[in-house]
Amino acid sequence: MPFKTILAIIQGVEDAERVSDCAGALAARHEAHLIGLHAEALPVPYTSAIGFPDAEFIQASAGVNEERSKKIEAIFRQRTAGAGITAEWRSLESFSGDSAHSGIASARSCDLVVAAQAGSDGASPDVDALLYDAGRPVLVTPHDAPCLASFRRVIVAWNGSREAARAAFDALPFILEAEGTEILVVDPPEGQAAAEAGADIAAALERHGANVTVHTEASHGAATDDIIRDRLAATGADLLVLGAYSHSWLKELLFGGVTRTVLQSMPVTAFLSR
């Protein structure tokens, strides 16, 4: 089943071209309708020395926001104009100014959300909000890798969790197009033979027509995200499918984890569901 409605979450000028290019190419491949969305922060009503709202400051801030929003819209329209797709633009305002928070309602009516990985300056939409509240899969485009509309080799990070199952089946359109998909199991459950780990999900995907293999590894104390990164490099995979925050969100926030690594520095495109 192809993706027919795609939402591009654009946080700022810095990620506008990359997200527009990736989302536009995906929409063209799947013959999908594309929605571009950006939110600006509502001006904070500072008060003057005599206690009245500073109307001049509010007006100036609103003007800057409008100018930036129009610039981002122009980039989106320019980068998607020749893609042969239907596209629309949604410009919003919110107290936070975060495009992901503002885009949750729109995301719930889409098949796929596209957002940028955090840049070196840390400016990026709050993808966590989309993962927890939108109920839709999110494709995270890395800042140092090519934008792709289809993927040759896919790795599904499998730990048997609800989140991993959701991600694997949500990603079927990509998995079915790929030359091969690997189910990667790190530290199979105790008492389970290595050959059995990941066998059921591999068989389920094969029944859809996917070409699937299973690979298991013991961590020997190494971080799971490092093992995944090494496996991506070893196989040449260009898409990672991951169940987001299958462990505690607070634990990952405090101590790190695979989802945090994906959102910040994973070198390939990542497909996340929760």
Cβ-proximal residues to 109 (8 Å cutoff; 6+ apart), any chain: 5
Average pLDDT of the chain to the nearest whole number: 88
The residue among 210, 268, 213 whose CA lies nearest residue 241 is 268
Strands 138-141 and 212-217: unpaired
Residue 247: per-residue pLDDT: 60
Residue 194: per-residue pLDDT: 58
Q: In what order do the strands lie in the sheet with 153-157?
A: 87-94, 33-41, 5-9, 112-116, 138-141, 269-273, 239-243, 153-157, 180-186, 212-217
Residue 51 has pLDDT above 80, yes or no: no
Strands 112-116 and 33-41: unpaired
Burial 161-188 (b: 16+ CB within 10 A, else e): eebbbbbbbbbbbbbbebeebbbbbbeb
Cβ-proximal residues to 145 (8 Å cutoff; 6+ apart), any chain: 238, 267, 268, 269
CB neighbours (10 Å) of residue 246?
21
Q: In this predicted model, what pLDDT tens digit does every residue of 62-113 receive, in sequence order?
A: 677 889 999 999 999 999 998 899 999 999 988 888 999 999 999 999 999 9
Q: In this predicted model, what pLDDT tens digit does every residue of 214-231 receive, in sequence order?
A: 999 999 989 999 999 999
Structural domains of the chain ordered from first start? 5-141 (3.40.50.620), 153-273 (3.40.50.620)
- The tokens describing 13, both together, are 């000028």
- The tokens describing 56, both together, are 């001049």
Residue 251: per-residue pLDDT: 44
Instruction: Name the strand (E) or helix (H) holding 183.
Output: strand 180-186
CB of 170 closer than 8 Å to CB of 139: no
Angle between helices 55-80 and 13-30 (to 10 degrees): 40
